[in-house]
Amino acid sequence: MVVNGKDAAVVQLIEVHKTYRTGEMEVHAVRGVSLEIHRGEFVALMGASGSGKSTLMNILGCLDRPTSGQYLLDRSDVSHLTRDQLADIRNSKIGFVFQNFNLLPRTSARENVELPLLYGKHQLSNQQLRERADRVLASVGLQGREDHHPSQLSGGQQQRVAIARALINDPEVLLADEPTGNLDSRTSVEIMGIFQELNKRGITIIMVTHESDIAAFARRDVAMRDGLVRSDRPVSQRLIASDEIGKRADVDELPQPEN
């Protein structure tokens, strides 16, 4: 099951179930999902609301533990870790990008990006924090905006800060939960451009979305329904953000890609 080398699965779910109990009702949100995601993949996790994709995302992000089944992240089992152990995994191996950015208000972009480092294993000097944050901010095209507060940044720029924050600890997986949900379509394409760029550099990305035109920027499309994976296939007509950006400048809506 454990494969060494370049092709090793970064994420491996084996018969994962998740059951919630809300009062009398038992909600079986995830009903046995097995999934393998390899290093360097760009996966879009699709599904309508109630399909279990958010629950699965929480499990993938180590925010939640599966009721049964196994989750191997970077070849180690994280299904039964404690709250604090999960927090350490999130800090070192997972980068989160949220729909509503979740930046700290009235805090500079730099300090927002430094945040995961403050909870990391190594205590860094202010100088080291600053250098690392500025380097990652530059890599998402925010050079010169390090001291801006979120309120002084556009939505797209805020999402870039969030991406920089997700990348600061060199995570195994970048998890994006509806990263373009709060952005206009042009900015969405820009963010997809950043994702494709990061992916080209070898970063594994898992992106939850319910928009198929956003999913089309990924390489692999996993669709969920009723707590199960219904389809899992490569994206056939993959969009390239650098090509799309010109078109979207004029046309706000992109025709649905056929697949």
Question: 119 or 143, CB closer to other proteins?
Answer: 119
Question: 85 or 231, CB closer to other proteins?
Answer: 85
**Binding residue for other proteins (CB under 8 A) from 5, 105, 144, 246?**
105
- The contacts of residue 156 (CB under 8 Å, 6+ apart) are 183, 187, 190, 191
Based on the shown chain and the rule CB under 8 A, indicate whether residue 52 belongs to the binding site for other proteins.
Answer: no
Based on the shown chain and the rule CB under 8 A, indicate whether residue 104 belongs to the binding site for other proteins.
Answer: yes
Q: Among all chains, which residue has been given the structure tokens 């996966």?
A: 43
Segment near other proteins (CB under 8 A); pick from 10-18, 120-128, 134-142, 249-257 = 120-128
List the end-to-end C-alpha distance of the chain, in Å, as a whole number. 32
Q: Quick check: 223 and 230 in contact, CB under 8 A?
A: yes
Distance CA 140, CA 160 (A): 6
Based on the shown chain and the rule CB under 8 A, indicate whether residue 138 belongs to the binding site for other proteins.
Answer: no
Based on the shown chain and the rule CB under 8 A, indicate whether residue 249 belongs to the binding site for other proteins.
Answer: no
What is the residue-wise DSSP string for 194-244?
HHHHHHHTT-EEEEEES-HHHHTTSSEEEEEETTEEEEEEE-SS---HHHH
Based on the shown chain and the rule CB under 8 A, indicate whether residue 146 belongs to the binding site for other proteins.
Answer: no
Based on the shown chain and the rule CB under 8 A, indicate whether residue 40 belongs to the binding site for other proteins.
Answer: no
**Binding residue for other proteins (CB under 8 A) from 70, 107, 139, 212?**
107
Q: Quick check: 206 and 37 in contact, CB under 8 A?
A: yes
Based on the shown chain and the rule CB under 8 A, indicate whether residue 160 belongs to the binding site for other proteins.
Answer: no
Q: How distant, in Å, are the alpha carbons of 20, 52, 146, 211, 223 from that of 48?
A: 19, 8, 37, 9, 9
**Binding residue for other proteins (CB under 8 A) from 119, 231, 232, 247?**
119
Token pair for 173: 């997986």
Based on the shown chain and the rule CB under 8 A, indicate whether residue 123 belongs to the binding site for other proteins.
Answer: yes
**Binding residue for other proteins (CB under 8 A) from 47, 66, 116, 156?**
116
The letter for the amino acid at 144 is G
Q: Which residues contact other proteins (rule: CB under 8 A)?
A: 58, 61, 63-64, 83-84, 87-88, 90-92, 96, 98, 100, 102-107, 111, 115-116, 118-121, 123, 165
